[in-house]
Amino acid sequence: MELLDFLTPSDEISANGGPEDHVVLSSRVRLARNISGVPFPGRAKKSSREESCEAIRPSVSGASAMRGGFSSGMGDLKALDKQLLVERHLISREHAAKAGGSALVLNKDETLSVMVNEEDHLRMQALLPGMQIKQVWQKIDRFDTSLEKKLQYAYDASYGYLTACPTNLGTGIRVSAMLHLPGLVLTDQVNQIVQAVTKLGHAVRGLYGEGTEALGHIFQVSNQMTLGESEADIIERIHKVVLQIIEHETNARATLQQGKPKELFNHIGRAYGVLANAHIVSSKESMNQLSLIRLGVKLGMFDELKTSVVDELFLITQPAHLQQLVGEKLSGEQRDVHRADLLRSRLSGVKGPQVSE
């Protein structure tokens, strides 16, 4: 099956909201696993990578959780396919660069994804919309347990699961939440929050850029340490931190609405003005303006606009999704024009932001 025939349409995949999705865009847990007695992919020769990939892939694609799913060697995917997968956060950029000897397995609704022979033999992730950190952990934990019956993992009694990079050693777990924090950025509090969270031993980074420069005001919080602490404890700590950030973001939005309503409405009104009327829009501009429109929707300023529509626009204005939609390969300049056309047409029926004075 072709990847394009398999992938859930962008509007459907964006329609799945989740708890606390005014702030939490998605929750994800990734586990790194390796097969006992086989050199890590980075060290293995191509022939040995191909061999291990052949040995591992059927166990993954044959798992009951993968029924109705998609499986492909990375060499069999087109460049655009790979980029679509990156934009959907289903594979890493490193994996997109792989060809023979690496593979990808997805489940039917794209909530489980397994990269075979990325940096480790197995990189498996569960991804759900909104604040569902505990649910994604349960999902990936169950899947991992089902695989351990068929694959013999490299495991050491004192070091736990052995990984190519020592930073993943032990649990091999990376728990992360993608957060939309326009309130904290507009009130200049985001750096403070970033510092506080990093002091707790977590990493915070802009999804597309750093600090206040983070595109689309989107940040990712994740654990740094993987050894010496159980999965349950790691999950619990990230869960607590994210709940606190949600509270700060919610407060920041209320502060803006009450203290500086004109400034806030100005930002959102201008964002709407640009996207509804511009003819050339870079992906950077579209992300920043869509972020403000999303904020406006969540504050009840757009009656006719649903969050899911804004989230879909976030996705389909990305380079690969845009090219897939238009149906041809586009240069950067052409993309900016098509992106603007798309945004104008989607926003044409939407009344500007309503402000209750």
Partner 1 sequence: MKCCQPDCDNEATVHLTEIVNGQMKKVDLCEECAKDKGVTDPQGFALADLLLGLGASSEMESVSAELECPTCGFTQADFKKTGRLGCSTCYTVFAEPLEGMLKQMHKGTQHVGKVPKALRAKLDITKQRDSLAEQLQKAIETENYEEAARLRDQLKELESVGSVEEGS
Number of residues that bind partner 1 (CB under 8 A): 62
Q: Are the beta carbons of 115 and 60 closer than 8 angstroms? A: no
Among positions 25, 85, 114, 154, the unique one binding partner 1 when judged by CB under 8 A? 154
* Residues between 65 and 124 that touch partner 1 (CB under 8 A): 86, 89, 92-95, 119
Q: Which stretch binds partner 1 (CB under 8 A): 151-159, 278-286, 317-325, 339-347?
A: 151-159
Smaller CB distance to partner 1: residue 64 or 158?
Answer: 158
Among 210, 247, 263, 303, the residue binding partner 1 under the rule CB under 8 A is 210
Cβ proximity to partner 1: between 231 and 301 the closer is 231
User: Does 160 contact partner 1 by CB under 8 A?
Assistant: yes
User: How far apart are CB 256 and partner 1 at their closest, in Å?
Assistant: 25
Q: Which is nearer to partner 1, 114 or 275 (CB)?
A: 114
Q: Is 188 in the site for partner 1 (CB under 8 A)?
A: no
Among 9, 62, 99, 167, binds partner 1 (CB under 8 A): 167
Choice from 2, 75, 188, 230 touching partner 1 (CB under 8 A): 230
- The CB-of-138 to partner 1 minimum distance in angstroms stands at 13
Residue 216 binds to partner 1 (criterion: CB under 8 A): no
Nearest approach, Cβ of residue 60 and partner 1 (Å) = 16
Does residue 281 belong to the site contacting partner 1 (CB under 8 A)?
no
Q: Which residues bind partner 1 (CB under 8 A)?
A: 34, 36-40, 42-43, 86, 89, 92-95, 119, 141, 144-145, 148-149, 152-162, 164-167, 169-171, 173, 194-195, 198-199, 201, 203-211, 220, 224-231
